[in-house]
Structure 1
Amino acid sequence: MAATGMGTLEIVSRMRMSDLGQGTLDALAITTERLCCEYASSPSLQLQVEGRAWLGRITGLLDQRLTLAQHRELLMQAGWLALLVGCVEYDLGDKRGAEATRRAAMSLGNEAGQAEISGWAHEMQAWYCLTQGDYRGTIVAGEAGQHVAPNSGVAVQLAAQRAKAWARIGDRRQVEVALDQGRSMLEQLPYPDNIENHFVVDPAKFDFYAMDCYRILGEDRLAETYARHVIEAGTDFSGRERSPMRNAEARITLGVVAARQGDVDQAVAYGQRALRGDRQSIPSLLMCSRELSAVLQERNPDNAEVRDYLDNLRDVASLPAQTND
């Protein structure tokens, strides 16, 4: 300190100085929340561009003189934005880019001391594995995420992802164990302030996961009941869809139930409508649609409407990944 010519108080005061005002941090937090709330319905490419732009702005802010608390706040907001961008990249079919962004979000969460961000990064890995057919990978990622963030909303979703994986493995008991664990955790959490935020789990979202499990297990009555609840919750009074991606998977579920009951026309109608949505998560949509196509091909392989649906499904599957690079 003698070498600096400054006393202790002056040194500490300088360490606490900042070029960044609280208003900027507040505006950034509001913007991050808004973007996370727009995930369900905003065009994917638009959301990707905006999310990346705000990550770039945060990079610039990190170059300024900041307090330790401000530095952590910026890392936290960057972590949430990276999670969002990674989800959108995966929706668009950019698997490599999505994985890189997911890893960046994990690092940001760890550096900022935000276990929930790290937990969501594990949840994204579970989702990636599920849609790529790596069900054991989904279970491992789910368990890792619950270890990192055991008492948060993401732990509920991680339990649900594990349940979906167990359903596809064919272990009914483990499905029920995971679903019961998720419901129990959800009941212990306070009702979220903003259920529009993609990184918030509410009862309607958990119904969406249960629907998927019961469709795979062949519990048609339960699957249909949950599917109708999902569509009702995801549609407002005017008929506008608040959750088009969830609604698409709910319609595929209704299509699977209809196909199993021998109503081919209804099954195809549900399947075709699911493929027409403007806001899509391509990997998830293809995973569920292929489950419907398998039932239709098994029971009605020569039906002209079935063949037309399968052609449309192949068209969606052959679309190249969309990026803004």
Structure 2
Amino acid sequence: MIDDRPVWAKRMESERAARSWSPLDAARAMRAHSTCDLPDDQVLARSWHRWESGAVEPKEHRALIAAVFGTTTRAFFPVDQRRGGNAEVQDASGMDTAEIVGRLCASDVDEATLEALRTTVGRLCTQYAYLPGDQLLLEGRAWLHHLAGMQHQRLPHSQRQDVLSHTGMLALLVGCLEYDSGGVARAQAESTRQAALSIGREIGHLGIQGWAHEMRAWFALTTGDIRGVISAADAGLAIASNESVAVQLLAQKAKAWARLGDRQQTEAALDAGRSLLESLPYPENVHNHFVVDPGKWDFYSMDCSRKLADNALAEHLAREVLRAGVDFDGTELSPMRNAEARITLGVVAAREGDLGAALAYGEQALEGDRQSLPSLKMVAGDLDAVLTRQYGGEHQAREFLHHMRTLLSR
């Protein structure tokens, strides 16, 4: 039978099931999280049945329901976030690359050119999620070269600030791509990050500074320097506590605490980040890499649940990440997030004794063209550990582990 209920109704049921709650338990959880008067528990429980059926939408209770399950309203009740076609990657100004570069090299840079530059940088940051990393890295470095050439021009103060702001964001993007790719480029990522941080300090751009510290936290996380993650995140929060990047800094802290096995600190960081994200206006472009979109909170929570061995919740969140990360036609909207979700499903399957499913999820996670090698290798380490521990004598498991280790050794 086809389940044609709304996405949010299906999720209400699956979230409740992942916690082994009855509708009455869910009603009580709503009351515990609410600061307002609610109907009595029996009435709320009956409402849960209607909500889960999809017959009635809980419009006045959407934020409360999201909070009960530790996520954001927009993640639980999503808006359409499909990528557009070619229009998405075209500059709003109508200028092509050659024209923009030509104008940037002129002695007089007009506002239309700066707007075209802003749109171009936004396009590149948006393409981070899905464009092959080596291709995007080449283009990003080329644009950095163009912007570096502008530093010799005499620009009005406001235009110079704009150009430096775009340069800083582009340096952040290039640094991420360098780190993703591994090999020689990865060694350059720290210098690029520091260059972005320096630009952010020079122009007083708190967002650029915050993201530069977030990158340091990410570098530390993927190299196993867990205390370094917390230190970098705290440094970023001290500067950019009111910027959207603070959400991701708190998420990195949560991931670090989960790896230290401290459930209380993990939950505190997740709750702080979720509350901040819930309070922020909905982003204009949720696909920009340097925008923390509400749906990403499930991804952060999934990582923490997997590390803390909350198998049912980790599996549920991984399926939510995949649901949001695959378009209606099967297009992978968020291939890197999806890969980590599939690794999580593989870990849960292995822990629960299903070797075949664990290997199938693992193979699927390794197939993507768009990968962040350090992050994927870090998450795959959990699958490696459980397969080695529980299935070290199985030929299929040994073959897969050899294959996975070879692919991720770049």
Aligned counterpart, 2:350: 259
Aligned partners of 1:153, 1:92: CA distance in 2, in Å?
Answer: 26
Aligned counterpart, 1:43: 132
What aligned pairs does 1:1-325 form with structure 2 within 5 A after superposition?
Answer: 19-93=108-182, 94-319=185-410
Q: Residues 117-151 of structure 1, C-alpha deviation per residue, up to 9 Å, x if partnerless?
A: 10000000000000000000000000111111111
Q: Is the 8 A contact 2:287 2:293 kept in 1?
A: no
Structure 2 letter corresponding to 1:247: N
Aligned partners of 1:130, 1:107: CA distance in 2, in Å?
Answer: 22
- State the secondary structure of the residue aligned to 1:203: coil
Aligned partners of 1:207, 1:269: CA distance in 2, in Å?
Answer: 23
Structure 1 letter corresponding to 2:135: Q
Aligned partners of 2:178, 2:400: CA distance in 1, in Å?
Answer: 26
Aligned partners of 2:409, 2:150: CA distance in 1, in Å?
Answer: 41
Structure 1 letter corresponding to 2:276: M
Deviation of the 1:19 alpha carbon: 1.8
Structure with the greater relative contact order (CA < 8 A, sep ≥ 6): 1 or 2? 1
Q: Is the 8 A contact 1:51 1:81 kept in 2?
A: yes
Aligned partners of 1:314, 1:228: CA distance in 2, in Å?
Answer: 25
Q: Is the 8 A contact 2:325 2:335 kept in 1?
A: yes
Runs of 5+ in structure 1 lacking a partner? 1-17, 320-325
Structure 2 letter corresponding to 1:49: L
Aligned partners of 2:215, 2:300: CA distance in 1, in Å?
Answer: 15
Deviation of the 1:111 alpha carbon: 1.1
Deviation of the 1:70 alpha carbon: 0.5
Matched residues, number: 302
- State the secondary structure of the residue aligned to 1:194: coil
Aligned partners of 2:292, 2:310: CA distance in 1, in Å?
Answer: 24
Which 4+ runs in 1 deviate beyond 3 A? none
Deviation of the 1:317 alpha carbon: 2.9
Structure 2 letter corresponding to 1:285: L
Aligned partners of 2:366, 2:343: CA distance in 1, in Å?
Answer: 9
Root-mean-square deviation (CA, aligned residues, Å) is: 0.9
- State the secondary structure of the residue aligned to 2:343: helix
Deviates further, 267-276 or 121-130 = 267-276
Deviation of the 1:273 alpha carbon: 1.1
Structure 2 letter corresponding to 1:258: A
Q: Is the 8 A contact 1:20 1:64 kept in 2?
A: no
Aligned counterpart, 2:75: none
Deviation of the 1:63 alpha carbon: 1.7
Structure 2 letter corresponding to 1:228: R
Q: Is the 8 A contact 2:168 2:197 kept in 1?
A: yes
Identity of aligned residues (%): 57
Q: Is the 8 A contact 1:157 1:206 kept in 2?
A: no
Deviation of the 1:153 alpha carbon: 1.1
Deviation of the 1:62 alpha carbon: 2.3
Runs of 5+ in structure 2 lacking a partner? 1-106
Aligned counterpart, 2:37: none
Aligned partners of 1:20, 1:318: CA distance in 2, in Å?
Answer: 46
TM-score scaled by length of structure 2: 0.73
